[in-house]
């Protein structure tokens, strides 16, 4: 499924009165709750169930908070580095005037890795929408229509990925995966490849 964006006027911070160039911003398509996200991870992995993933995430969060509270910088693989920042509770001009109670926790920062950014760049498909009309542009297809679209796509291309099926039908990635698995169970499709290279073919034509 594509990520939607629209173009917005850039503010004129110096009040020059000159027309500013447009800039692009994502039009949010929704928010994943923790439950939604863990269900998505569980279905995508097909190895670990929801309860196992929920427990692991809980432990990771607890350990991350403890390590950061000790002043550590925490690296989580491709995701990037976590660190914390501090702030003074009031203005201090001289180091001798600073007391420990004047310094407090401010925020948590995540510096994402180049590989994580590249991963998003490889996956993202952008589609321009008018934000004001976004809610009325959604088109829902019936199961029969989605199956017909799938068949036509496979006739032309031979195979289809999860991302392509999501974009083709308008289903979310999670629902697209579920439906493709249903088609496999019904003997309509067969899955090929593994991990990122997974794609689906029309089983009846093999």
d(CA 46, CA 39): 11
Which phi and psi angles does 8 have, rounded to 5°? -130, 155
Q: Looking at the structure, give the CATH architecture of the domain made up of residues 3-7+24-128.
A: Irregular (4.10)
Residue 100 has pLDDT above 70, yes or no: no
Residue 107 has pLDDT above 70, yes or no: yes
Query: What pLDDT digit, counting tens, does each position of 144-199 carry?
Result: 889 999 999 998 888 999 888 888 888 888 888 889 989 998 899 998 887 767 88
The residues facing 34 across adjacent strands are: none
pLDDT value of residue 150: 92
d(CA 74, CA 149): 46
Please, where in the chain does CATH 1.10.10.10 lie? Answer: 139-205
d(CA 61, CA 54): 11
Which phi and psi angles does 107 have, rounded to 5°? -155, 165
pLDDT value of residue 138: 52
Q: What is the value of pTM for the model shown?
A: 0.57
What single string gives the DSSP state of each residue in 54-100? Answer: HHHHHHHHHHHHHHHHTT--EE-GGGEEEEEEEEESS--SSGGG--G
Nearest 10 degrees: Cα torsion 183, 188, 191, 196: -50
| Of 10 and 108, the one with more pLDDT | 108
Q: What is the CATH number of domain 139-205?
A: 1.10.10.10
| Of 169 and 74, the one with more pLDDT | 74
Residue 135 has pLDDT above 60, yes or no: no
Please, where in the chain does CATH 4.10.520.10 lie? Answer: 3-7+24-128
Contacts with 204 (C-beta within 8 Å, 6 or more apart), sequence order: 187, 188
| Assigned token pair, 186 | 């019904």
Candidates 28, 3, 6; CA nearest to 131 is 6
pLDDT value of residue 136: 42
Query: What pLDDT digit, counting tens, does each position of 36-70 carry?
Result: 888 888 888 878 898 999 999 999 999 999 999 99
């Amino acid at each position: 499924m594509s990520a939607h964006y629209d173009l917005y006027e850039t503010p004129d911070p110096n009040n020059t009165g000159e027309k500013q160039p447009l800039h692009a911003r994502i039009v949010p398509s929704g928010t994943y709750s923790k439950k939604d996200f863990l269900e998505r991870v569980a279905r995508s992995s097909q190895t670990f169930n929801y309860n196992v993933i929920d427990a692991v995430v809980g432990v990771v969060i607890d350990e991350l908070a403890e390590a950061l509270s000790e002043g550590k910088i925490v690296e989580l693989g491709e995701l990037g580095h976590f660190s914390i920042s501090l702030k003074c509770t009031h203005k201090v001009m001289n180091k001798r005037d600073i007391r420990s109670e004047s310094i407090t926790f401010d925020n948590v920062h995540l510096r994402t890795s180049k590989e994580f950014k590249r991963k998003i760049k490889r996956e993202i498909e952008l589609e321009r929408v008018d934000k004001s009309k976004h809610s009325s542009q959604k088109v829902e297809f019936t199961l029969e229509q989605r199956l017909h679209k799938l068949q036509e796509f496979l006739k032309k291309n031979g195979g289809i990925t999860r991302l392509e099926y999501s974009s083709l039908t308008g289903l979310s990635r999670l629902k697209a995966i579920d439906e493709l698995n249903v088609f496999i169970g019904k003997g309509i499709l067969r899955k090929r490849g593994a991990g990122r290279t997974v794609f689906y073919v029309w089983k009846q034509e093999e």
